[in-house]
Amino acid sequence: MSREVDRLPEPKEIRRKKVIVASPSRSGTLGLYAAMKILGYRPYHLYECVCVQGSTHIKIFREAIIAQYNWLSGVKRLRKPDCEKWLADYDCIIEVPSYLGMDVIQSYIDDPEVKFILTERNPKNWALSFNNTAAKVAALATTFPVSILKYFHADLYHFFDVNVLVYRALSSNTKPGDAENEEMLCEYYSEYIKKAKATIPDDRLLLIKLEDEDGIDWDTICPFLGLPVPKEDYPDRHFPEKFAALLQEFLQPRVKAAMFRCVLLTVSLLGATGWAMVKYGPSLLPALPRFMFSPP
């Protein structure tokens, strides 16, 4: 089965990966994405996937999710050569590896120059944050008018489709409010963190516990990366507000474009119907009474 990543042109150059942030989404990764930019890296985060690269990258990520969590799908899982092709322009990968399986992370461990960052938080806090963000986006996909408008813009369709897939995969097909929802999310998160700690060598891993007093800051990550502390403040930590702003930035122009296309199609259909009625209506009118009132 041909995959979206297979249809990408071969890159002229592949940047060597320097840092892998193996953390799942909703654990300080958006702040790290901004921080790594300030430090001079070229980072890839799901924000970059959705808001910068668009539909092609979203479809690659969607196929990766299907392959990882639905073994009966027939979709081949992504390996390191696929990731290198997909992410050729980047030297730092953030949160995406957490969706691809430990074998992909292991393949980057095989390169002794790659460093790893793993942020950790209380599983219940992570589940709450995930439900306050990803779950709401997934629910929006089935809410009118988005449930209609997403079919009028490719970016909208693929964005909502992949969010629904991710939420179902990580929550074991539960929904917020279900009796087992929090338990399933906490189980996914705890198991992933446990596997990541067991897989990544301690001497190449920076483990950051977000609830600790120090948390995540320049003084935490710069010594590990061998870089001087920037003069700029560490990026904004108000993740829910930042997430909402970025979501609005992504959705607003695309929803407007989808509404315009929807209205245009409706007007076109109405116009075509009106034209047909004007052209053929007079000849059909005499036959209507016989058609409507003739016995069955």
Q: Is the pLDDT of residue 291 over 90?
A: no
Residue 226 phi/psi, 5-degree rounding, is: 70, 35
pTM score: 0.86
Label residue 153 by pLDDT band (50, 70, 90). confident
Q: Is the pLDDT of residue 269 over 80?
A: no
- Report the chain's mean pLDDT, rounded to a whole number: 88
CATH class of 5-272: alpha beta
Q: Is the pLDDT of residue 161 over 70?
A: yes
Label residue 276 by pLDDT band (50, 70, 90). very low
Give the residue from 171, 172, 170, 148 showing the smallest Cα distance to 160: 148
Q: What number is the average pLDDT over the span 258-287? A: 60
By the 8 A CB rule, do 118 and 209 touch?
no
Residue spans of the domains in the chain: they are: 5-272
Q: Is the pLDDT of residue 199 over 80?
A: yes
Confidence (pLDDT) at 238: 59
Q: Is the pLDDT of residue 284 over 70?
A: no
Q: Is the pLDDT of residue 264 over 60?
A: yes
Label residue 239 by pLDDT band (50, 70, 90). low
The per-residue pLDDT for range 163-191, each reduced to its tens digit, is 999 999 999 999 999 999 999 999 999 99
Q: Which residue has the higher pLDDT, 232 or 279?
A: 232
Q: What number is the average pLDDT over the span 109-117? A: 96
Give the residue from 164, 140, 135, 165 showing the smallest Cα distance to 240: 135
Q: Is the pLDDT of residue 69 over 50?
A: yes
Confidence (pLDDT) at 146: 87
